[in-house]
């Protein structure tokens, strides 16, 4: 089944929740909707499902216009971030419920429930009630109910957000394996850039109801078309500094100067915004084009086995995303290293001029 949105708009109380969105999803594809809270992800999925009708535009499935067709007449399943299971029904009956509504034969129901439960590793719990399960098992039950229907379109509205980190990682891996073998369209909404990267497929970046950029996930990440796309598809947010190119020299914030490397020579003189991802800045030199900066620590934010290090100099602030635990008192002077070949360059209008090229780190 293919799914096409043609210039769909959705207005609520005079506000545009979805503005002129056009997308195409191919059969067997895994697609991520990435955006902050209130970006329009759920609103867009409700239009896909038929829970809401667009004020303008069309929704097509298999080239058939289904814009006015309600959800019960579409071959769609949806999984929400809350564990929406029937508390008084067993896990088996929860999974079987859409098949019973479709009045399938009992033997077929049992076979499909068993197969789906085995696939999601909840077969031993089929006779239990949902409240007797862990959070991960409850969410697997909800996912199984969506998958057992064998729908052509399955929508996941931040389904893992309420689970702990380990369970989320486990289910992400399972989902990739599940949909590699299915010929349905999967659409997955998330606020987390790292989750979009982990899931792969295609990613559509949304902001305030508008599509910022859409394409293969790796391409959107490595070549964000604008400052906004780069900010939304980076966690922590990409570091941005105003700068200028003149002759063979680059200056950042009018204060830090360095010789232009080969990657930047294709860009003409002028004013630009330079971006560097937090994960590309290091505490030790590793490339022959590293820009060394003296900075002061503002905050060392330790999160498990990684550290978000907030630093500043006289002209701008930056965030480093470092593996491992790095404890620094506030105002500790340190030196950081920025590989200039990994700089993004945006023009005055915020559009991408150049994305970083790929280069192997220098071996000491």
Q: Mind giving me the DSSP string for 35-74?
A: --TTSSHHHHHHHHHTSS--SEEEEEETTEE-TT--GGGS
251: in domain: yes
Q: With contact defined as beta carbons under 8 Å apart, do 163 and 136 qualify?
A: yes
Radius of gyration for the alpha carbons in the chain, expressed in angstroms and rounded: 24
My answer on whether 120 and 257 are in the same domain is: no
Q: Is the dihedral of CA 348, 350, 351, 352 positive or negative?
A: positive
Are residues 302 and 168 located together in one domain of the fold? Answer: no
Same domain, residue pair 8 and 91: yes
Asked whether residue 363 is domain-assigned, the answer is no
Question: Is residue 300 in some structural domain?
Answer: yes
CA distance 110 to 95: 10
Identify the pLDDT of residue 180.
Answer: 67
On whether both 200 and 59 belong to a single domain, the answer is yes
Low-confidence ranges of the chain (pLDDT < 50): 358-364
Could you report how far apart the first and last alpha carbons of the chain are, in Å?
53
On whether residue 23 sits in a domain, the answer given is yes
Residue 122 sits in the same domain as residue 193? yes
Same domain, 208 and 311: no
Report yes or no: 308 and 301 within 8 Å, Cβ to Cβ.
yes
Using CA atoms, how far residue 304 sits from 165, 308, 318, in Å, is: 10, 11, 21
Together in a domain, 215 and 290: no
CATH number at residue 258: 2.40.50.140
Query: Is there a single domain that holds both residue 281 and residue 169?
Result: no
Strand partners, 270: 245
Q: Which residues contact 35 (CB under 8 A, 6 or more apart)?
A: 41, 191, 205, 206, 207, 232
State which of 166, 194, 225 marks the end of a domain.
225
Out of 225, 249, 274, a domain closes at 225
Domain count, the chain: 2
Same domain, 117 and 152: yes
Please indicate, yes or no, whether residues 175 and 271 belong to a single structural domain of this protein: no
Q: Which of 151, 95, 156 shows the shortest CA–CA distance to 120?
A: 95
Is position 341 within any domain?
yes
- Determine the pLDDT at residue 149: 84
Last residue of a domain, one of 191, 225, 259: 225
Determine the pLDDT at residue 270.
94
- 178 lies in the same domain as 251: no
Residue 362 covered by a domain: no
Looking at the fold, whether 209 and 349 belong to one and the same domain comes out as no
pLDDT in the model for residue 364 = 27
Q: Which residue from 31, 25, 32, 33 is spatially nearest to 3, judged by alpha carbons?
A: 25
Residue 231 lies inside a defined structural domain of this protein = no
Give the range of the structural domain holding residue 296, as residue numbers without chain letter.
239-354
Residue range 97-146, pLDDT digits in tens: 999 988 999 999 999 999 889 888 899 999 999 999 988 889 889 888 98
């Amino acid at each position: 089944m293919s799914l096409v949105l043609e210039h769909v708009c959705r207005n609520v109380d005079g506000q545009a929740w979805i503005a002129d969105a056009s997308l195409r999803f191919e059969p067997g594809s895994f697609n991520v909707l990435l955006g902050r809270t209130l970006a329009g992800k759920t609103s867009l999925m409700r239009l896909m499902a038929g829970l809401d009708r667009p004020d303008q535009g069309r929704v097509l499935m298999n080239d058939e216009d289904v814009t006015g067709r309600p959800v019960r007449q579409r071959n769609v399943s949806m999984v929400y971030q809350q564990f929406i299971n029937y508390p008084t029904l067993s896990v088996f009956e929860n999974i079987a419920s859409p098949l019973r509504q479709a009045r399938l034969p009992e033997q077929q129901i049992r076979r499909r429930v068993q197969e789906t439960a085995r696939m999601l590793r909840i077969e031993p719990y089929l006779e239990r009630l949902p409240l007797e399960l862990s959070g991960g098992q409850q969410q697997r039950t909800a996912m199984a109910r969506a998958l057992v229907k064998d729908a052509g379109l399955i929508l996941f509205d931040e389904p893992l957000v309420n689970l702990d980190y380990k369970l989320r990682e486990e289910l992400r891996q399972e989902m990739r394996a599940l949909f590699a073998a299915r010929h349905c369209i999967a659409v997955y909404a998330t606020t987390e850039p790292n989750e979009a990267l982990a899931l792969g497929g295609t990613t559509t970046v949304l902001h305030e109801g508008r599509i910022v950029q859409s394409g293969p996930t790796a391409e959107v990440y490595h070549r964000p078309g604008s400052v906004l796309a780069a900010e939304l598809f980076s966690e922590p947010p990409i570091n941005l500094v105003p700068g200028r190119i003149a002759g063979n020299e680059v200056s950042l914030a009018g204060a830090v100067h360095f010789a232009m490397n080969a990657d930047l020579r294709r860009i003409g003189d002028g004013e630009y915004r330079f971006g560097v991802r937090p994960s590309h800045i290091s505490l030790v030199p590793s490339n022959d084009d590293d820009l060394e900066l003296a900075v002061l620590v503002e905050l060392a934010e330790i999160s498990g086995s990684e550290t978000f290090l907030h630093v500043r100099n006289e002209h701008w602030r930056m965030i480093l995303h470092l593996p491992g635990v790095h404890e620094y008192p506030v105002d500790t002077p340190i030196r950081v290293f920025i590989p200039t070949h990994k700089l993004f360059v945006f023009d005055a209008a915020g559009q991408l001029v150049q994305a970083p090229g790929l280069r192997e780190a220098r071996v000491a």
